[in-house]
Amino acid sequence: MHRFLIFAAIGILLTACTASAAEGKFVIVAISSVSLEELTAPGLPNISYLIDKGGIGVMNTRPASVRGLSEDIVVTKYSMEGACATIGAGTRTAATTDARKAYNASDIVDNRPVRQLYESLYGQSSRRAEVLHLGMNRIWFINSEAKYKIEPGALGTALRSAGLKTAAVGNSDTHFDPRREATIIAADAVGIIDYGYVGSKLVMRDPEAPYGIRTNSEVLLASYRKAIKNADFMVVDVGDTARAANYARHCIEEQGLRLRRTAIENADYIIGEILKDLDLSKDRIAVVSTNPSAQMIDEHNFLPPIIMAGSGIGQGLLTSGSTRRSGIVTNTDIAASVVDFFGIEAPNSFIGSPVKTTIGTKQDLLQTNQRIILQVQRQPAMRGIAGFLIFYVIVMSFWILQQRNRPAPIAKWLVLLPIALFLSVLWLPAVANLEMTGSIIMLGLMVFVILVSAWFILRSPGKAFGWLCGAVILTVIADMMRGAVLLRDSIMSYSPVDGARYYGIGNEHMGSAISAGVIAAGFLAAVLAERRTLRIISLTALLGLVIVTIGPLGSNAGGAISIAAAVSTGLVLWSGHKIHRKHIILGIASVLIMIGILIGLDQLRPGAAQSHVGRAVHLITTDGFNQALTIIDRKLSMNLMLLKNSAWSKLLITSVAAVIVLLSSRHLNPIGQLRENRHIQAGIIAATIGSIAALIFNDSGVVAAATAFIYIWTAVTLAAMTSSAKLENGERESSLPSPTRASEACPAESAGQS
């Protein structure tokens, strides 16, 4: 009897939990093409209420790309079509203008009833659905050859499979073109939406409005109230903001601003009416600016805002496991938030994480967005740095090869310019947050100050090289321990607009840090007792691995593997051993162990907090070995694309070629110079191994390998110039510490005299 009562109680609790998970309603209000500044302006009482009641953030809406299809077929740029298709699929999805083709089942299109037209397209009954999307089959077709899993309509399918009802109300029609792309958020895989109204009665004539029409608020709200009675999940397209943003491009600036403001005020009124039918203690509402407008893009303001309030959402700034950054989410997080709200298991194709809130204010978000805008404005400078380094490596290498006499003393200092540049790029956000021109000027000044200071203090290029490498790696470690404040605002870093990475260390600085770390360790090994040195290097390497591996700081799996490969190589060589087969096996084993540790750590985290490695393992275990082949193919395709098109690939090829030419020069003989100190030679070999590992184990490994190899070029070039001077003058001159002096020298004197 007691056992029966226990099981009965458990059953009641489970039933109650299930019911509570799906008890509330989730409403998305789509307000296309509205900026953060417009949404947070005074005079919008209902929007302000939601911001105060819940959370606000900006949202990455990076469009998907489909190779092999022209822009005439696929809407490739930031668009409402692609943004809404992405929200509905839970992963980045390409879209055509067919995304607009949603109609009420009772409508007539091409002289045929929509229900009949639907059944002729999909070969199945539309059942009792009130809204039908006739373009979903086309969206499936154009995404069928993608390198990752895309399931258009996955959100609607997941909801309807769980017995929940969907609805869509509203449109962004113009007088000549039906625009119903917001409905694709609620549509399932075959274009079915249970309830709603998207017809022509939703707009009314208004000669002062864009295109002479505006949203008929009475019809929209009546349709909303009718559908919300039966629907669990609903999308409302207010329409006016999209029309105003498109029409404003043809107006003078003042008129365009006025039209946009009027549209946002109308949207605020509609949101207020929607709130009257919701209970935010159990329901949830999301106000989503689906995509940036053309004006926003012109201003480099690529991240539209999102507000979320209601059950499960606290006050503050929005964040998610996808970004791990306060105030920033992605549009793929919306679908994950919806299924999480209803207690439904997310489909395997979803790549987002449920949205949550963190501490922060509206003003904090506005400042963050301004920093991101400045970073986007500076983005061309990153490509400029790669181009400059290509030119610099070619010119300096050619000059050194042509020198038959003692090189000018300044030449060795000029060789250090790339390392001083990397350090300046790291420190720049702490000095000033400027637009592109100002940043370039400031970088030039910082490089000059660093090199001149090194000349005054150290007097030796070799010493300066070691100290600069140490400064780079220490700056990276210290910054990551305090939340990567410098790294995320750096010119040579990831951008929330690109969406490839939002936290931790990116490939540009990761490659630089690996080479800087092991070369600095080589200099350290040259001046300290070996046992003590190996302990320091081992502890520093362990700290680096922890920083780039654990979730809150890094989760850069490729970086962790590359560090393991570089450090294990260096430790073998610094300990006085030659690399034999057993060391190679041990090195491979250490990399495999590192991968195993990463997988193990990921399995302890919830899916939303897992790294790329953890999610990849989950996909492979769920979908089988074919998923592993897909992941490998995608990574190879990424690196091959970068090899063909990226300036970083050209830098990598240029620096590798320059190193090979310098090493093979009999006149310069840099190999002989490097052999004079096995510790630094070991650091350079370890940096080479780390560069190769970075190339292999990262999605954009070309970038990491390029920045890593610049350090190798610098070391080899310094050795070549020193060797050339010794041959010409018959005197012992070294830019690197010699083995006979290593035990006597202090860090500032250990790199020899030039």
Q: What is the mean pLDDT of the chain?
A: 82
Is 684 part of any domain? yes
Q: Does 393 lie in the same domain as 330?
A: no
Residue type, 617: V
Q: What is the mean pLDDT of residues 543-566?
A: 63
Write down which residue in 318, 339, 360 finishes a domain. 360
Q: Does 510 lie in the same domain as 381?
A: yes
Task: State whether residue 168 is helix, strand or coil.
Answer: strand
Tokens of 645: 């098109």
Q: Does 377 lie in the same domain as 513?
A: yes
Task: State whether residue 199 is helix, strand or coil.
Answer: coil
Which among 342, 316, 276, 295 is positioned nearest to 17, based on CA atoms?
342
Q: Does 378 lie in the same domain as 354?
A: no
pLDDT (0 to 100) of residue 537: 63
Question: Which is higher by pLDDT, 736 or 744?
Answer: 736
Tokens of 730: 């018959």
Question: Which is higher by pLDDT, 543 or 710?
Answer: 710
The counts of H helices and E strands in the chain are 28, 17
Q: How far apart, in whole angstroms, are the C-alpha atoms of residue 609 and residue 337?
A: 14
- Of 53-57, 259-263, 690-694, least confident by mean pLDDT is 690-694
Is 3 part of any domain? no
CA angle 348, 351, 356 (to 5 degrees): 120
Q: How far apart, in whole angstroms, are the C-alpha atoms of residue 498 and residue 318?
A: 19
On the CB side of 691, how many CA atoms lie within 13 Å of its CA? Answer: 25
Tell me: the pLDDT tens digits for 345-358?
999 889 899 999 99
- 8 A C-beta contact, residue 634 and residue 147: yes
| Residues whose CB is less than 8 angstroms from the CB of residue 215 and which lie 6 or more positions away in sequence, other chains included | 170, 202, 203, 204, 238, 239, 240, 266, 270
Domain count, the chain: 2
Tell me: the pLDDT tens digits for 114-161?
999 999 998 888 878 999 999 999 999 888 877 778 899 999 999 999
pLDDT (0 to 100) of residue 147: 75
Q: Does 172 lie in the same domain as 143?
A: yes
Is 596 part of any domain? yes
Q: What is the mean pLDDT of residues 424-437?
A: 88
CA torsion through residues 698, 701, 703, 704, sign: positive
Measured torsion, CA atoms of residues 648, 537, 530, 575, in degrees rounded to the nearest 10: -60
CA torsion through residues 434, 437, 438, 441, sign: positive
Is 346 part of any domain? yes
Q: How far apart, in whole angstroms, are the C-alpha atoms of residue 96 and residue 491?
A: 34
pLDDT (0 to 100) of residue 2: 46
Three-state SS sequence of 278-297: CCCCCCEEEEECCCCCHHHH
Which among 121, 210, 227, 255 is positioned nearest to 167, based on CA atoms?
227
Neighbours of 498 (CB within 10 A): 14
Is 232 part of any domain? yes
Q: Does 631 lie in the same domain as 576?
A: yes
Tell me: the pLDDT tens digits for 152-190?
999 999 999 999 999 999 999 987 788 999 999 999 999
Q: Does 612 lie in the same domain as 476?
A: yes
pLDDT (0 to 100) of residue 754: 33
pLDDT (0 to 100) of residue 743: 37
Q: What CATH number did the domain enclosing 291 receive?
A: 3.40.720.10
Tokens of 299: 């201003």
CA torsion through residues 409, 416, 642, 636, sign: positive
Q: How far apart, in whole angstroms, are the C-alpha atoms of residue 366 and residue 376?
A: 15
Is 9 part of any domain? no
Q: Does 405 lie in the same domain as 301?
A: no
Is 10 part of any domain? no
Is 754 part of any domain? no
Q: Does 406 lie in the same domain as 280?
A: no
Whether the pLDDT of residue 467 is over 50: the answer is: yes
Whether the pLDDT of residue 613 is over 50: the answer is: yes
Tell me: the pLDDT tens digits for 695-732?
887 777 888 899 999 999 999 998 888 765 554 544 44
Which domain does 443 fall in, by range?
Answer: 369-729
Q: Does 380 lie in the same domain as 342?
A: no
Q: Would you give the end-to-end CA distance of the chain in angstroms?
A: 91
Question: Which DSSP category does 608 fall into?
Answer: G
Tell me: the pLDDT tens digits for 353-402?
999 999 999 999 999 999 999 888 888 888 889 899 999 999 998 888 87
Q: What is the mean pLDDT of residues 454-477?
A: 90
Q: How far apart, in whole angstroms, are the C-alpha atoms of residue 285 and residue 50?
A: 9
Question: Which DSSP category does 95 fall into?
Answer: B
Q: Does 316 lie in the same domain as 387?
A: no
Q: Find where tokens 């005079």 sit.
A: 43
Write down which residue in 342, 360, 378 finishes a domain. 360
Q: How much of the chain, in percent, has pLDDT values that exceed 70?
A: 78
Tokens of 33: 């093409």
For 201, phi and psi rounded to 5 degrees? -70, -10
Write down which residue in 311, 333, 360 finishes a domain. 360
Q: Does 377 lie in the same domain as 352?
A: no
